[in-house]
């Protein structure tokens, strides 16, 4: 799906991408990781045909700069920061449906699965939506297009745990041949989501590794958590993760956690190590 050989990108005297060689096959789910400012977004912009570079870069066998329309017809993109679009949501969706081969009904349905009802927001300016709403809308649009290549630049950064779960589930419904390229500066954000890790440092690939046994994206784990005592901030966070108190015992909370997010959830528990009495996480729909 993606092939780059000797790809270089320089801004003035600063070389951001140095002779990058990378091949990504159709259907691979690749995490592009690395610290901020080390070339991830630059690489994505080259793939989207927004930057010119030296070397060979093809997407689906085409040059993303020269054949941009043909390439971008099968590419879905979610940027790191939502764009400051001044149009209303309805106007924005009108443009998307005119430019991309997607219907507003498909976008509406996809957004619904992410917990966003766009009919209520139609007349609001896009920029006035909350960060989470914008992210859900952008993800909804990208997924509704049923792209062959999905490029997600830190996609879940603004999503709450429940929306993240819904997002992973929505990803799981994509065709298996869909190639995904996701970026993050944190490995734990993406490790459960991908089949391959590529780390960039100073514009070079310093790690290219297969992720063993990545879980199915729609798999959930049954979780039970017993606490010494419950505090308001803890209660709020647990509810955001979709956990509910046991009807007979306020100190025990139960619910489903996305398998992709399991280590994120465990990392959260480390913050409350003094409060946690017992944790039980197990397969619920193997």
Question: What span, in angstroms and rounded, lies between the C-alpha atoms of 45 and 189?
Answer: 21
Select 77 or 241, whichever has its Cβ closest to other proteins.
77
48 binds other proteins (CB under 8 A): yes
Tokens 């199915």 belong to which residue?
A: 216
Here the tokens at position 252 are: 């025990």
CB of 243 to other proteins, least distance (A): 35
Interface pick for other proteins out of 2, 24, 59, 75 (rule CB under 8 A): 75
Q: Provide the angle, in degrees to the nearest 10, between the axes of the packed helices 89-99 and 131-144.
A: 20
Query: Does 100 help bind other proteins (rule: CB under 8 A)?
Result: yes
Q: What is the largest CA-CA distance in the chain?
A: 66
Q: Mark 217-256 with x for binding to other proteins (rule: CB under 8 A) and - for no binding.
A: ----------------------------------------
Q: Is 99 in the site for other proteins (CB under 8 A)?
A: yes
Site string for other proteins, 146-165 (x = CB under 8 A): -----x--------------
Tokens of 133: 């709403």
279 binds other proteins (CB under 8 A): no
Closest by Cα among 14, 23, 18, 11 to 198: 23
State which of residues 35, 83, 216, 246 lies at the interface with other proteins (CB under 8 A). 83
85 scored as a contact of other proteins (CB under 8 A):
yes
Output the CA angle 228-230-233, nearest 5 degrees: 135
> Residue 140, interface with other proteins (CB under 8 A)?
no
CA distances from 11 to 38, 72, 86, 140 (A): 13, 24, 30, 33
Tokens matching residue 199? 């780390």
Q: Which is nearer to other proteins, 140 or 192 (CB)?
A: 140
Among 12, 13, 66, 84, indicate the residue that binds other proteins (CB under 8 A): 84
Compute the distance between CA of residue 198 and CA of residue 33 in angstroms, rounded to an integer.
6
User: Residue numbers of the site for other proteins (CB under 8 A)?
Assistant: 45, 48-52, 68-70, 72-73, 75, 77, 79, 81-88, 91, 94-96, 98-100, 125, 138, 151
């Amino acid at each position: 799906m993606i092939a780059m050989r000797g790809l270089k990108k320089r801004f003035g005297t600063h070389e951001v991408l140095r002779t990058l060689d990378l091949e990504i096959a159709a259907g691979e789910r690749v995490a592009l990781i690395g610290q901020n400012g080390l070339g991830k977004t630059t690489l994505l912009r080259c793939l989207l045909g927004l930057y010119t570079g030296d070397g060979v870069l093809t997407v689906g066998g085409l040059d993303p700069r020269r054949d941009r329309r043909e390439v971008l017809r099968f590419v879905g993109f979610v940027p790191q920061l939502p764009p400051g679009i001044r149009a209303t949501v309805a106007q924005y969706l009108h443009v998307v449906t005119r430019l991309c081969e997607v219907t507003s009904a498909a976008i509406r349905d996809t957004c619904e699965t992410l917990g966003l009802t766009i009919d209520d927001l139609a007349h609001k300016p896009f920029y006035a939506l909350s960060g989470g709403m914008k992210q859900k809308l952008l993800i909804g649009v990208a997924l509704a297009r049923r792209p062959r290549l999905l490029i997600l630049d830190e996609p879940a950064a603004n999503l709450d745990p429940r929306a993240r779960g819904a997002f992973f589930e929505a990803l799981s419904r994509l065709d298996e041949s869909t190639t995904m390229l996701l970026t993050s500066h944190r490995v734990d954000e993406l490790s459960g989501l991908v089949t391959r890790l590529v780390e960039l440092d100073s514009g070079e690939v310093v790690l290219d590794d297969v992720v063993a046994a990545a879980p199915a994206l729609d798999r959930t784990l049954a979780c039970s958590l017993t606490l010494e005592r419950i505090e308001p901030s803890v209660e709020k966070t647990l509810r955001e993760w979709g956990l509910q108190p046991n009807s007979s015992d306020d100190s025990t909370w139960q619910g489903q956690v996305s398998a992709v997010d399991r280590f994120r959830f465990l990392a959260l528990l480390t913050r409350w190590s003094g409060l946690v009495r017992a944790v039980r996480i197990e397969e619920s729909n193997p």
